[in-house]
């Protein structure tokens, strides 16, 4: 899929007749596995008043929106655990309505090993690829699928859902939303107070399956559920926790206005919006970027070589192309980078 295909100036893949030593490529960088943040103490989340491990509910007792903040969908992304534990300790009962905090993959987190910090992302399959009815309503079983079904009732009632994530490779903070105007409006409110305003990206989904923010409640045409995913910064960094807490507190402060008005009306700095036009997958085991790009980098000119994939050069298809959450060591078949262009118009299917 491409957005405004008439503005495409250059093919993304250019086949080279043979590899030569002067072809670009920065090699395969080592994984950034420095743990600058200790794993949090989440003992208070094991036995909760909700009866579901990892689920804490703060109910005002008054009618109002159902707010949900989710962290640790991936067990090794425990900055989200720190952030939600900070919120829990502050007893965040909303003025009206109900707030539910969910640590989604406590089981995988319980297997975290600082000597192999990537191994506990999940136990059997990625919890953030399971949110389609064909998986949720199937007879299949796995640790993550069972957990998705366990927390599904809290997701189904969410009016506003914020899903907190972190990244392995360096990236500026970015909000990712499903292709619904109501969700991009929601994310724009949260993004607009950053200095500079954070990027809000509507993307093409994930080839591996439906993410939480793409659950049917948030994808229904004419529906009311809104969701956004925040990539807050690097795994295992204190500043990532700070970003998550700051955005979560902003979410709780502005929830009523977002729910009833849809958009912030007095933001000082509008959020930047972008639409993903292409997902670039690694077609070889030797995918290499020409340099270690940081997420949200803007490449000025169409036709700029950004990577090599076997015998192919990977090029930007248009001017001012954004690189969204690059994976600097993609495996064969894995998503290497999303290509996006800025837009002033919300994508609304």
- Tens digit of pLDDT for each residue in 191-248? 988 777 789 999 988 888 999 999 999 999 989 999 999 999 999 999 999 999 999 9
Report the sign of the C-alpha dihedral through residues 211, 212, 215, 221, in that order: negative
Check residue 3 and give its pLDDT.
Answer: 44
- Tens digit of pLDDT for each residue in 87-110? 999 999 999 999 999 999 999 999
Q: Name beta bridge partners: 55.
A: 102
Up-side HSE of residue 151: CA atoms within 13 Å toward CB?
30
CA dist., res. 176 & res. 159, Å (int): 17
CA dist., res. 305 & res. 166, Å (int): 27
Report the sign of the C-alpha dihedral through residues 182, 183, 186, 191, in that order: negative
Q: Name beta bridge partners: 313.
A: 14, 308
Check residue 169 and give its pLDDT.
Answer: 96
Angle at 76 between CA 338 and CA 275, to 5 degrees: 20
- Tens digit of pLDDT for each residue in 319-335? 999 999 999 999 999 99
Residue 2 has pLDDT above 50, yes or no: no
Q: List phi, psi (to 5°) of 168.
A: -75, -40
- Tens digit of pLDDT for each residue in 169-185? 999 999 999 999 999 99
Check residue 18 and give its pLDDT.
Answer: 62
CA dist., res. 117 & res. 125, Å (int): 16
Check residue 346 and give its pLDDT.
Answer: 61
Least confident of 7-11, 31-35, 188-192, 286-290: 7-11
Q: What is the residue extent of each domain of the chain?
A: 5-30+277-342, 43-261
Residue with more model confidence, 27 or 23: 27
Which helix (H) or strand (E) segment is 109 a member of?
A: helix 106-109
Check residue 27 and give its pLDDT.
Answer: 67
CA dist., res. 349 & res. 331, Å (int): 31
Spatial CA neighbour of 184 closest among 264, 266, 257 = 264
Check residue 71 and give its pLDDT.
Answer: 98
Q: What is the average pLDDT score of the chain?
A: 91
Superfamily of 43-261 according to CATH: Zn peptidases (3.40.630.10)
Angle at 121 between CA 115 and CA 125, to 5 degrees: 135
Residue-by-residue DSSP string for 43-104:
GGGTS-TTSSTTEEEEE-SSS--EEEEEE-SSTT-THHHHHHHHHHHT----SSSEEEEEET
Check residue 6 and give its pLDDT.
Answer: 40
Check residue 25 and give its pLDDT.
Answer: 57
Structure letter (DSSP) for residue 242: H
Report the sign of the C-alpha dihedral through residues 179, 241, 236, 126, in that order: negative
Residue 291 has pLDDT above 80, yes or no: yes
- Tens digit of pLDDT for each residue in 159-172? 999 999 999 999 99
Check residue 1 and give its pLDDT.
Answer: 40
Residue 279 has pLDDT above 90, yes or no: yes
Q: List phi, psi (to 5°) of 89.
A: -65, -25
- Tens digit of pLDDT for each residue in 115-162? 999 999 999 999 999 999 999 999 999 999 999 999 999 999 999 999
**Count of C-beta atoms within a 10 Å radius of residue 294:** 13
């Amino acid at each position: 899929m491409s957005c405004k295909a008439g503005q495409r100036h250059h093919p993304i893949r250019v086949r080279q007749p043979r590899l030569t030593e002067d072809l670009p490529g920065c090699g395969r960088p080592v994984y950034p596995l420095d743990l600058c943040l200790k794993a949090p103490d989440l003992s208070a989340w094991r036995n909760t008043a909700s009866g579901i491990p990892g689920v804490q509910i703060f109910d005002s007792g008054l009618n109002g929106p159902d707010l949900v903040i989710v962290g640790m969908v991936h067990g090794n992304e425990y900055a989200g655990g720190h952030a939600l534990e900070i919120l829990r300790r502050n007893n965040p009962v909303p003025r009206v309505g109900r707030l539910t905090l969910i640590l989604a993959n406590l089981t995988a987190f319980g297997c975290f090993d600082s000597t192999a910090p990537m191994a506990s992302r999940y136990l059997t399959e990625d919890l953030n690829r399971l949110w389609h009815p064909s998986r949720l309503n199937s007879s299949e079983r796995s640790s993550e699928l069972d957990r998705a079904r366990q927390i599904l009732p809290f997701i189904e009632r969410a009016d506003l859902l914020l899903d907190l994530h972190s990244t392995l490779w360096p990236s500026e903070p970015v909000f990712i939303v499903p292709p619904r105007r109501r969700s991009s409006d929601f994310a724009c409110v949260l993004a607009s107070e950053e200095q500079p305003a954070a990027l809000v990206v509507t993307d093409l989904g994930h080839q591996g399956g439906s993410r939480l923010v793409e659950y049917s409640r948030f994808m229904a045409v004419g529906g009311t559920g809104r969701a956004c995913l925040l990539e807050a910064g690097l795994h295992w960094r204190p500043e990532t926790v700070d970003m998550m807490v700051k955005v979560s507190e902003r979410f709780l402060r502005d929830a009523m206005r977002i729910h009833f008005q849809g958009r912030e009306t007095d933001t000082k700095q509008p959020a930047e919006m972008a639409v993903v036009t292409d997902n670039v997958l690694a077609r070889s085991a030797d995918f290499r970027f020409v340099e270690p790009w940081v997420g949200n980098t803007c490449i000025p000119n169409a036709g700029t070589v950004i990577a090599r994939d076997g015998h192919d050069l990977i090029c930007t298809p248009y001017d001012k192309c954004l690189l969204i959450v690059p994976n600097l060591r993609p495996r064969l078949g894995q998503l290497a980078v999303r290509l996006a262009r800025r837009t002033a118009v919300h994508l609304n299917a």
